[in-house]
């Protein structure tokens, strides 16, 4: 992966090869881990697809999408990778949850935690686990809510940068730009950073088990407060940055795209497909560099526990079963899933997914800048 960095000249390559590995590792933090590096990629997607007519509402939503910041997305992702792979049940996982919560609070959110029990595979003793979420309360429809999720746990012994730091940072960056009172949303939005995805979606399942029955209830009665607003849709983000073709090439593939998946074999398949189409249409309007496609085999991610109850989709770098499942990402669950493994072209795919999701929920939840 180092070979494709624009800053890497033939001479520096030769120098790196000649250096002992330990020196190379020490140099990386200064030379390559710079979240503030400017974007190098502009694929001019609108030129590829042709102009899409923009309504006045679309333009208003685009103003919201433009609040997203590429450098901020990378900085949040870099922050997550400082906790290693954040494997569930480890101190680094617990520290990462604290860090995520601190970030959300620093932007002005009140946060909550879901507490649940999980029995590790090599044990018969259930242990306590936690995950955190934050909510932007709807200004006129606080009782209706879209859930925007990603899993903060990982595995593999690296930094779980792509799986799923990339999705976690996406959700957090959207939360960051919507935190200000200058941005209003008619409907409520919940930013959920699931734990225990890698062990079988246990964190998202716990959320559904504990909170599905609470939907739409005003508590206390007459208060205007809804601890669990009625679920209007669930949008999951899981592995967002790497679409290098298969067989795998060094660079992001020319046909790299955001894959939006729903599950055909689910109770809410038709409604989920409509939610997926809302994301495709948003991508055409608001994404700057990469297109999006819709397919019907959503699998192995935290939207699954929701899919029979509410419209549910996942956004990914590749179709989970047919591409990721056929080794389209050689860093998946490996020690090489590191921040430094990825180029700006890779980060930009994740950022385009953020644009896609924010544009869609701006329309669906009716988000606008009010200052
Ligand atoms: Zn994942």
pLDDT one-digit tens code per residue, 8-55: 333 343 333 333 333 333 333 334 444 554 455 555 555 345 567 888
Q: How far is the CA of 258 from the centre of ligand 1 (A)?
A: 15
Distance 218 CA to ligand 1 centre (A): 34
How far is the C-alpha of 228 from the C-alpha of 225, rounded, in Å?
9
Token pair, residue 333, equals 């669950």
Which H or E run includes 312?
Answer: strand 312-316
- 135/253 Cα distance (integer angstroms): 36
Q: What pLDDT does 39 receive?
A: 53
In the structure, ligand 1 is a single-atom ion and the residues with CB under 5 Å from it are: 163-164, 238
Q: Check if the beta carbon of residue 311 is closer than 8 Å to that of residue 287.
A: no
pLDDT digits (tens, 9 = 90+) for 213-270: 999 999 999 999 999 999 999 999 999 999 999 999 999 999 999 999 999 999 999 9
Cα→Cα distances 35→71, 86, 335, Å: 6, 20, 21
pLDDT in the model for residue 49: 56
d(CA 273, CA 167): 21
Report the separation in Å between the CA atom of 44 and the middle of ligand 1, taken as the mean of its atom positions: 29
**Both tokens of residue 316?**
């990914």
Q: Where is pLDDT greater, at 131 or 13?
A: 131
User: pLDDT tens, 145-199?
Assistant: 999 999 999 999 999 999 999 999 999 999 999 999 999 999 999 999 999 999 9
Residue 69 buriedness (CB in 10 A; 0-12 / 13-18 / 19+): middle
For helices 70-81 and 91-106, give the axis angle rounded to 10 degrees: 150
Gap from CA of 152 to ligand 1 centroid (Å):
9
What DSSP letter does each residue of 193-223 carry, written as one string?
A: EES-STTTSHHHHHHHHHHGGGTT--SSTTS
- Between the CA of 92 and the centroid of ligand 1 the distance, in Å, is 17
User: Does position 207 have pLDDT exceeding 50, yes or no?
Assistant: yes
Q: 281-291 pLDDT, tens per residue? A: 999 999 999 99
How far does residue 23's CA lie from ligand 1's centre (Å)?
32
Q: How far is the CA of 197 from the centre of ligand 1 (A)?
A: 7
Note the helical H segments in 32-90. 45-49, 56-65, 70-81
- 320 CA to middle of ligand 1, Å? 10
CATH number of 33-212+224-369: 3.40.630.10
CA of 238 relative to ligand 1 center, distance in Å: 5
Structure-token pair, residue 194:
């699931």
Compute the distance between CA of residue 213 and CA of residue 198 in angstroms, rounded to an integer: 25
Ligand 1 center to 367 CA (angstroms): 28
281-285 LR contacts (CB < 8 Å, sep 24+): 281/360, 282/61, 282/355, 282/356, 282/357, 282/358, 282/359, 282/360, 282/362, 282/363, 283/258, 283/352, 283/355, 283/356, 283/359, 284/49, 284/52, 285/52, 285/54, 285/58, 285/61, 285/62, 285/359
What would the mean pLDDT of 324-341 be, rounded to a whole number?
A: 97
Whole-structure pTM over 0.85, yes or no? yes
What tokens were used for 188?
């409520």
pLDDT at 4 over 70: no
Query: Distance between CA atoms of 328 and 246, rounded to whole angstroms?
Result: 5
Judged by DSSP in three states, 295 sits in strand
CA of 239 to the centre of ligand 1 (A): 6
CA of 298 to the centre of ligand 1 (A): 13
Task: Give me ligand 1 centre to Cα 163, in Å.
Answer: 5
Extents of the domains making up the chain: 33-212+224-369
Burial class (CB in 10 A: 0-12, 13-18, 19+), 326: exposed
Rounded-to-integer distance, Cα 58 and Cα 82, Å: 37
Q: Identify the three-state secondary structure at position 130.
A: strand
Cα(333) to ligand 1 centroid in Å equals 9
Ligand 1 centroid to residue 167 C-alpha, Å: 9
């Amino acid at each position: 992966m180092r070979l494709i960095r624009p800053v890497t000249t033939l001479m520096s390559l030769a120098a790196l090869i000649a250096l002992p590995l330990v020196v190379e590792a020490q140099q990386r933090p200064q030379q390559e881990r710079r979240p503030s590096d400017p974007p190098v990629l502009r694929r001019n997607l609108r030129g590829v697809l042709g102009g899409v007519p923009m309504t006045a509402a679309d333009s208003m939503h685009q103003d919201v999408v433009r609040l997203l910041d590429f450098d901020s997305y990378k900085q949040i992702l870099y922050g997550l990778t400082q906790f290693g792979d954040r494997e569930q049940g480890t101190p680094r996982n617990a520290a990462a949850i604290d860090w995520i919560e601190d970030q959300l609070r620093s932007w002005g959110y009140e946060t909550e935690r879901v507490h649940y029990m999980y029995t590790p595979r090599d044990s018969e003793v259930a242990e306590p686990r936690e995950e955190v979420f934050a909510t932007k309360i709807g200004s006129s429809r606080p009782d209706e809510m879209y859930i925007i999720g990603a899993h903060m746990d990982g595995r593999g012994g690296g930094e779980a940068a792509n799986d799923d730091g990339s999705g976690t940072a996406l959700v957090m960056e959207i939360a960051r730009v919507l935190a200000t009172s200058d941005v209003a949303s008619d409907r409520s939005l919940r930013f959920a950073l699931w734990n225990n995805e890698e062990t079988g979606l246990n964190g998202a399942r716990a959320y559904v088990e504990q909170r599905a029955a609470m939907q739409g209830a005003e508590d206390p009665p007459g208060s205007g407060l809804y601890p669990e607003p009625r679920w209007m849709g669930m949008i999951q983000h899981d592995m967002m940055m790497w679409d290098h073709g298969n067989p795998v090439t060094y660079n992001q593939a020319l046909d790299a795209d955001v894959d939006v998946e729903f599950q055909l074999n689910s109770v809410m398949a038709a409604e989920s497909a409509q939610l997926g189409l809302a994301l495709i249409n948003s991508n055409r309007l608001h994404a700057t560099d990469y297109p999006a496609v819709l397919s019907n085999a959503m699998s192995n991610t935290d939207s699954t526990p929701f899919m029979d109850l509410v419209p549910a989709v996942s956004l990914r770098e590749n179709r989970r079963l047919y591409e990721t499942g056929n080794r389209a990402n050689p860093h998946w669950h490996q020690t090489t899933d590191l921040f430094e493994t990825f180029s700006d072209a890779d980060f930009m795919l994740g950022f385009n997914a953020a644009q896609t999701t924010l544009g869609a929920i701006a329309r669906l939840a009716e988000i606008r800048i009010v200052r």
